[in-house]
Structure 1
Amino acid sequence: MSQVPIKFTQIFINNEWHNSVSGKTFPVINPATEEKIADVQEGDKADIDKAVTAAREAFKLGSTWRSMDASARGRLINKLADLIEIERQYLSELESLDNGKPLAEAEFDLDCTVATFRYYAGWADKIHGKTIPADGPVVSFTKIEPVGVCGQIIPWNYPALMLAWKWAPALAAGNTVILKPAEQTPLSALYIAKLAAEAGFPPGVINVVPGYGPTAGAALVAHPRVDKIAFTGSTEIGKLISKTASETLKRVTLELGGKSPLVVTESVDIPEAAQIAHDACFANMGQCCCAGTRTYVHESIYEEFVKHSAAIANKRVLGSPFDANVTQGPQIDAAQTAKILDLIESGKKQGARVVTGGQRSTRKGYFIEPTVFADVTDSMRIAQEEIFGPVQQILKYKSLDEVIDRCNSSAYGLAAGILTKDINQALKFSGAVQAGSVWVNCYDHTVVQTPFGGFKQSGHGRELGEEGLHGYCEVKTVTIKLAGGQ
């Protein structure tokens, strides 16, 4: 096990470290060993109040941040990217320790984190309005302005990367931010906050308050001086956030859960398709909101596909995320492990066939055997509920029209995919399926240039790409009457 030094465990407000007002701390647990990593200061409403005061002060007219040239904002964001890149190895190890993902995956996440900051650094001085040929003797134009103080709540599955998805567009647009990281994985956010201060962001622009959802998170959402909430997490919590935020009519962006389908047509190369479907489901130990867990396979290739899927799953190696041979780390915590196991048992009871796995590993830590279910039907819980673990459900279908209807029967609509050699099938599917991202002959090709977000109960608003800026901007229309009516 790598010995990763823990450098920051306090609350970060106004470019300073603080203990919680209450004096409380909470433990952060290593999911691979079930042992405590560190005690972190537990923020709650009083700490959120302090952070909001700092963020509002930094956002007021005439402040250093509001007076800064847009191009200078871009340079600051790039400087933060530089510092993250310098600290890439340490941050990767911190992610693996805190989250449990294999080190190679954490390193990839940090590369994507840097890329996200660099992309939005380039946008900082390119956010602008338009002149409008309005009726009457007037000159009209629009200005694009920042929303204000943005509360941001991120999940534990991609801690550093989700931070970048939130901070980068918000900062590029000129907002100030208060981040509530997941209580399971606050360590990388605190370290990156230190790097932000080192990069030169003015005090109050970036604040990080670790704590629990019902206390720190709820206080951030309800705060009357917070202008926007951006949340990534479960649909259940997203509904609560939307309801609370409505009391103050905050702008809200929600990237929520999914039960995403991947359709495997009869024209595919079966071993290749089985590998794509495996990666779609098992990436990050299945802890991915857009995971392609509903694998719909054409009846003509079904049994052969199931055999290949089981063989691939059986090759997964469980163990320490710091072991280069390991391909699957632990689940995040005891509660998530229990939820996954409960859904696995429901699949067995409802008649699905366990092809491989189906149990908790006997090793110490929150490890679950990679599990493949066959003979799954749409009515089963495992085909309807988001499992968020290493569990693949393989369903059989006959026609494309039929399977499109079944894909769309879910309350979710985050992502979907199809594997086919027929362009007509690809175009028909991509046009008909209700999902925010549709991948053809690949899966989860999510990059910073392409918008990401969901239909239906998978949320609203978009992150990444130019679309990711819109939720952090307000449009102001200015109309000037010309003298003499000219």
Structure 2
Amino acid sequence: MINAYVRVPPPQNEPILAHAPGSPERAALQGELKRIAAERIEIPIVIGGQHVRSHRTDTVRMPHRHAHVLATVHEADASHVQPAIQTALAAKDEWARMPFASRAAIFLRAAELLATRYRPILNAATMLGQSKTVYQAEIDAACEAIDFLRFNVHFAQQLLSEQPVSSAQTWNMLDYRPLDGFVFAVTPFNFTAIALNLCVAPALMGNVVLFKPSTTAALSNWYVMELLREAGLPEGVINMLPGDGPTIGNPVLSSPDLGGIHFTGSTPTFQGMWRMVGENIARYRQYPRLVGETGGKDFIFVHPSAADDLEALATAIVRGGYEYQGQKCSAASRVYVPESLWPRLKPRLQEMIAELRMGDVADLRNFMGAVIDEKAFKRASSYIEMAKHGGSEAAVLAGGETDRSEGWFVRPTLVQVTNPRHRIIQEEIFAPVVAVYVYPDADFDEALRLCDTGAPYALTGAVFARDRKAIERMLHVLRHTAGNFYINDKPTGAVVGQQPFGGSRASGTNDKAGSFLNLVRWTSPRTIKENFVPPTRVPYPSMNE
């Protein structure tokens, strides 16, 4: 044991490696891209460190070369859920009693492994399995994941140090216990770092976790499990159950030992889980903590005073809307532009979009890859067809082409709508489709109202203006439209420790991943009072005559 009040190393955001031609990181990445592409691995169910194989399997394919199978995934079913719960609960007491410094050391070691030897592995797996370009993989699977590991430890230490005041002759303490039971972590395909964080944040606070990854991201998520195992995470603390959502989720949510849900995914899925928790509320040993980050229909609102910043505005729209094929919950997908700026902004956007390279992400010159799977391809295609046949209410200004012959490719598409309530500007598409609504300059306030009420979500949003009075007006009117709000910047790219991430309304519970606000949700504090001089007489002084 350590007889000291230790302090974890101060965290710093991980630098983004450039992967420039001739750089060592580029050579290492290209080596891993070749190795992983040449293999076809088996991804098992992981319960208590044991690799379990099932009779039902699925495949992980390259979205940009969908005939190429990267891995076979063994899918869990209801028969695997109870053993996973029992294994997790069996590991819980020892894990929760482990000193915080020891738990922290595991995740700090994982950060260093990821910053070095695992960096090209996680980047390559994310690129090939999720069709991310090298830059998008680097800021996600490497930098953001490393930041989550380091900053979570830092924030946890800050949280544990928060203690109540004590009056004379007493000592008051807060004991930050883990939740009763286990945490169910349900993770998305689009960010490897989110998959890691949804498991690690509760585990750091002493909880045990059942981890259900997205099958389409199972390759990178498997390497996350291997990273944590090598960092020294005890068996049973995080158990991985790949497979169909309801098949695994229904028995998990019916368990009396469910302590919490850490979720990132679609709004309907989270609402369905919340509904099922409500139906089972009398079964649970405690009220489960529900933490979810869900959909988004994120905006860029432009004021006429941004006229001299059109290049920055156009860049924000193109980067914010089309990086990673628009498959970010924070992606810019609706833009409100004043009439006075549109004649100059429109051709510049068309030029920029036409220059974007799309293709195999192993070709590092490409700006975009493919959408994640056939379902996403069909959904994006349906909205593009809607725009093409939109009559006077919608018109495709750039892109609009799709091709599924080799990969699920959707060209970056810009749509102008004349109806501010058109489905394309209101509904989440999760694809490289950006809708623009042009408003009369004189209707600035009305356009703000349309932006505020134009979608049920409230995740991210950005405004562009030079007029400070206008910025203050937009900050006020749009205050509840975005949990992450940007001024003269794109609405994507939140950095751990700098912009804690999360939204409200239909976008989630706004528990701010990458901050102490998220970690506090995974604790059940106990107040302890010790009286050094306890009273020895029953009557109070006021009772004297």
Q: Would the TM-score normalized by the shorter structure come out above 0.5?
A: yes
Aligned with 1:385 (options 421, 427, 449): 427
Q: Secondary structure at the match of 1:460?
A: coil
Match of 1:295 in 2: 335
1:218 positional shift: 3.2
Q: Secondary structure at the match of 1:121?
A: helix
The answer to whether the 8 A contact 1:26-1:41 is kept is yes
Q: Secondary structure at the match of 1:279?
A: helix
- Alpha-carbon RMSD: 2.1
1:124 positional shift: 3.8
Q: Secondary structure at the match of 2:320?
A: helix
Q: Say whether residues 1:446 and 2:494 are aligned partners.
A: yes
The answer to whether the 8 A contact 1:7-1:191 is kept is no
Aligned with 2:300 (options 262, 271, 274): 262
Deviates more, 1:348-357 or 1:280-289: 348-357
1:394 positional shift: 0.9
CA–CA separation in structure 1 for the residues paired with 2:354 and 2:188: 29
- Structure 1's 475 and 416: CA in aligned 2 closer, same or farther, altered over 3 A? same
Deviations 1:187-228 (A, max 9, x none): 111122122122111111111111111212333333322211
CA–CA separation in structure 1 for the residues paired with 2:417 and 2:271: 33
CA–CA separation in structure 2 for the residues paired with 1:426 and 1:176: 45
Deviates more, 1:422-431 or 1:380-389: 422-431
Q: Secondary structure at the match of 1:471?
A: helix
The two structures have a TM-score, normalised by structure 2, of: 0.84
- Structure 1's 343 and 200: CA in aligned 2 closer, same or farther, altered over 3 A? same
CA–CA separation in structure 1 for the residues paired with 2:418 and 2:369: 26
CA–CA separation in structure 1 for the residues paired with 2:51 and 2:265: 27
1:376 positional shift: 4.0
Q: Say whether residues 1:58 and 2:58 are aligned partners.
A: no
1:74 positional shift: 1.0
Aligned with 1:9 (options 31, 35, 43): 43
Greater Rg by CA: 2
Match of 1:475 in 2: 525
The answer to whether the 8 A contact 2:118-2:227 is kept is no
- Structure 1's 422 and 218: CA in aligned 2 closer, same or farther, altered over 3 A? farther
Match of 2:436 in 1: 394
Aligned with 1:82 (options 88, 112, 132): 112
Q: Say whether residues 1:108 and 2:139 are aligned partners.
A: yes
Deviations 1:212-258 (A, max 9, x none): 11212333333322211111111111110111122234211110101
Gaps of 5+ in 1: none
CA–CA separation in structure 1 for the residues paired with 2:494 and 2:333: 17
Q: Secondary structure at the match of 1:452?
A: coil
Q: Say whether residues 1:165 and 2:197 are aligned partners.
A: yes
Amino acid at match of 2:46: F
Match of 1:131 in 2: 164
CA–CA separation in structure 2 for the residues paired with 1:352 and 1:271: 25
Q: Say whether residues 1:147 and 2:164 are aligned partners.
A: no
- Structure 1's 425 and 69: CA in aligned 2 closer, same or farther, altered over 3 A? same
Q: Secondary structure at the match of 1:297?
A: strand
The answer to whether the 8 A contact 2:213-2:242 is kept is yes
Match of 2:458 in 1: 413
CA–CA separation in structure 2 for the residues paired with 1:470 and 1:281: 33
Aligned with 1:210 (options 226, 242, 246): 242
Match of 1:340 in 2: 380
The answer to whether the 8 A contact 2:96-2:178 is kept is no
Gaps of 5+ in 2: 1-32, 282-286, 538-545
CA–CA separation in structure 2 for the residues paired with 1:114 and 1:242: 30
The answer to whether the 8 A contact 2:73-2:215 is kept is no
- Structure 1's 97 and 219: CA in aligned 2 closer, same or farther, altered over 3 A? farther
| Aligned pairs, number | 479
Amino acid at match of 1:331: V
The answer to whether the 8 A contact 1:102-1:321 is kept is yes
- Structure 1's 114 and 7: CA in aligned 2 closer, same or farther, altered over 3 A? farther
Match of 2:209 in 1: 177
Amino acid at match of 2:457: Y
- Structure 1's 379 and 474: CA in aligned 2 closer, same or farther, altered over 3 A? same
The two structures have a TM-score, normalised by structure 1, of: 0.93
CA–CA separation in structure 2 for the residues paired with 1:234 and 1:217: 15
Q: Say whether residues 1:464 and 2:509 are aligned partners.
A: no
1:37 positional shift: 2.3
